[in-house]
């Protein structure tokens, strides 16, 4: 059992797959920001079988700063699997995760942390989303399907800019190994009765590296995992509770 005195206040988790152009600037930004947000923190990077220099870049930083930790998957397992590895390894009282593609402004984590006293899970929604039209169209369709099957009415189901309190992490039995993990997290959090609040966040176009989230393999895996979770949650013992939606932050878009 870990010593409470060694428990960081904040964990920042970043799944990485072939992001050698982005991961260095990402971690520099995280190391500059985190001391302003928490007295103690850690950064957990999960390299999901990258074929480029992503892991080597992180390893070099780990040697110079013990607050950065690297977990490595020997082969690519999928976004959800990488995120789950990072969340299991995180030790913070508050746990944040985001992507490594530099499409989010990490400084906006402060706006999410401001709500963690009243809410268990604070989720960003991209306002607006700056992805190519094909990805936005797929996301729109996914949102409609999830709303129809589960009644989950959130603005941005798969936004990878979330922070939650440790009891959420310890209570949710995440199973997804693919891109469906964000949706699963929200559905299970609602099922467990955790308080959820949505906050708008800035989203930027990707300028380096290649997106991996809209391939046929990723989409097919997400559909399979969606159907598996749908069957599970339809069982009488696991029916979803009524959603708990906290009001938006002052000035947030409707």
Q: DSSP states of 27-77 as a string?
A: HHHHHHHHHHH-SSEEEEEEEES-SSSHHHHHHHHHHH-TTEEEEEESS--
Whole-number pLDDT of residue 55: 97
Whole-number pLDDT of residue 132: 87
CA-wise closest residue to 145 among 239, 226, 215, 220: 226
The region of weakest confidence among 8-12, 40-44, 71-75, 247-251 is: 247-251
Q: What's the average model confidence in pLDDT over 194-202?
A: 96
Q: What's the average model confidence in pLDDT over 72-93?
A: 96
d(CA 106, CA 98) in angstroms, rounded, equals: 9
Whole-number pLDDT of residue 211: 76
The domain ranges of the chain are 4-238
CATH class of the structural domain 4-238: alpha beta
Q: Residue 179 pLDDT > 90, yes or no? A: no
d(CA 243, CA 153) in angstroms, rounded, equals: 9
Instruction: Tell me how many degrees the CA angle 71-18-88 measures, rounded to the nearest 5.
Output: 25
């Amino acid at each position: 059992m870990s010593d409470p005195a060694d428990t960081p206040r904040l964990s920042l988790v970043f799944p990485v797959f072939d992001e050698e152009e982005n991961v260095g600037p990402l971690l520099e930004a995280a190391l500059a920001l985190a001391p302003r947000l928490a007295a103690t923190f850690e950064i957990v990077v999960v390299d999901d079988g990258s074929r480029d220099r992503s892991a080597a870049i992180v390893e070099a930083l780990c040697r110079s700063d013990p607050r950065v930790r690297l977990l490595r998957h020997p082969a690519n397992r999928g976004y959800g699997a990488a995120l789950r590895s990072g969340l299991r390894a995180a030790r913070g009282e508050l746990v944040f995760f985001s992507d490594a593609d530099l499409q989010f402004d990490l400084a906006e984590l402060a706006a999410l942390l401001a709500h963690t006293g009243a809410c268990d899970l604070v989720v960003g929604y991209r306002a607006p989303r700056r992805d190519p039209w094909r990805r936005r169209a797929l996301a729109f369709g996914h949102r409609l399907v999830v709303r129809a099957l589960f009644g989950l009415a959130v603005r941005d189901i798969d936004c990878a800019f979330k922070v939650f309190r440790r009891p959420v992490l310890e209570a949710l039995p995440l199973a997804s190994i693919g891109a469906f993990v964000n949706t699963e997290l929200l559905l299970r959090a609602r099922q467990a009765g955790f308080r959820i609040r949505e906050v708008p966040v800035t989203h930027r176009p990707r300028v380096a590296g290649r997106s991996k989230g809209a391939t046929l393999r990723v989409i097919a895996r997400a559909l399979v995992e969606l159907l598996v979770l749908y069957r599970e949650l339809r069982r009488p013992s696991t029916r979803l509770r009524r959603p708990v939606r906290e009001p938006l932050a002052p000035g947030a878009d409707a």
